[in-house]
Amino acid sequence: MPNSLSTININEKYNLSPSFVVDSWSQFTRKFSSASSLIPNIPVGKYIEVKDKKLVGDCFVIFRRTDFDNLNMLSSMASKVTRCLVQIDRITTTFSNNEKPEQVIQLIHEQAKLGIEFTVISSSNSNSDYFGSYVVEEDNSDLKMPKSRKDIEGKINDKEKSYSQGR
């Protein structure tokens, strides 16, 4: 399932386009062994989409620092694109074909939520002008949103609570 929402929004607002799409995690790791090998090969503002089913179309996006700062001025986008707080001068991540992709992605997600975020490193980029960011995007297609306040109000007194899940 493509990560269409983030792709569309980024494209519309910043005219970004995919550098390329890989069909699986193994294809991704064949191409990039580490974060440091990722940066020099992806043009600024381009992204990679990993279409492995387990990863649900996760994207890696490369921004120049200035681009990224501009992006963060929009709170709606800032909530979609996690901040990259650490400048690219430390190597923290190595991609491995042996690692389970969902675990790697989970790690990235957790780091993103912790505020450390996924740091993409460029050993060849000594001026540290590049930031790596990871697009955290919800798959909103199956969200069941409340339609009004009435849908939220109402109490259940049991200690054991239940709800019905439509399928």
Partner 1 sequence: MTKKKVILKVDELEKILEHYHRSDCWKKTKTWFAPFGGNIGERAKFLKANMYTPKPLVAADGKGKVAEFSVLQGDILKTKAAITYDPVFDFIPDEYSYYIVIPSSCSVQPKKYKQVLLARLSPIESTEDVMRQAFVTSIKFENNKSFYLPPIDGESPGEFGFLAIFEEVSHIDNKLLQSAQRVASLSLIGWHLLNAFLVNHYTRPSADDSTLRQLAYDTEWSFYE
Minimum CB separation of residue 31 from partner 1 in Å reads 27
Distance CA 68, CA 83 (A): 8
Q: Which of residues 82-111 bind partner 1 (CB under 8 A)?
A: 86
Q: How far is CA 90 from CA 44, 55, 68, in A?
A: 19, 25, 19
Of 40, 67, 38, nearest to 50 by C-alpha is 38
Regarding 154 and contact with partner 1 (CB under 8 A), the answer is yes
Regarding 73 and contact with partner 1 (CB under 8 A), the answer is no
Distance CA 166, CA 80 (A): 28
Q: Identify which range of 33-41, 57-65, 94-102, 138-146 contacts partner 1 by CB under 8 A.
A: 138-146
Regarding 12 and contact with partner 1 (CB under 8 A), the answer is no
Question: Does residue 56 come out as left (phi exceeding 0), alpha (psi in the -120 to 50 range) or beta?
Answer: left
Regarding 144 and contact with partner 1 (CB under 8 A), the answer is yes
**CA geometry: angle at 81 spanning 65 and 113, to 5°?**
110
Read out DSSP for 63-116?
EEHHHHHHHHTSHHHHTTB----S-S-S---B--TTS-HHHHHHHHHHHHHTT-
Residues in the interface with partner 1 (CB under 8 A) total: 34
Q: Identify which range of 41-49, 54-62, 122-130, 136-144 contacts partner 1 by CB under 8 A.
A: 136-144
Regarding 75 and contact with partner 1 (CB under 8 A), the answer is yes
Pick from 12, 73, 115, 124: which binds partner 1 (CB under 8 A)?
A: 115
Regarding 13 and contact with partner 1 (CB under 8 A), the answer is no
Minimum CB separation of residue 166 from partner 1 in Å reads 6
Q: For binding to partner 1 (CB under 8 A), which residues are involved? A: 75-76, 79-80, 86, 113-116, 138, 140, 142-149, 151-156, 159-167
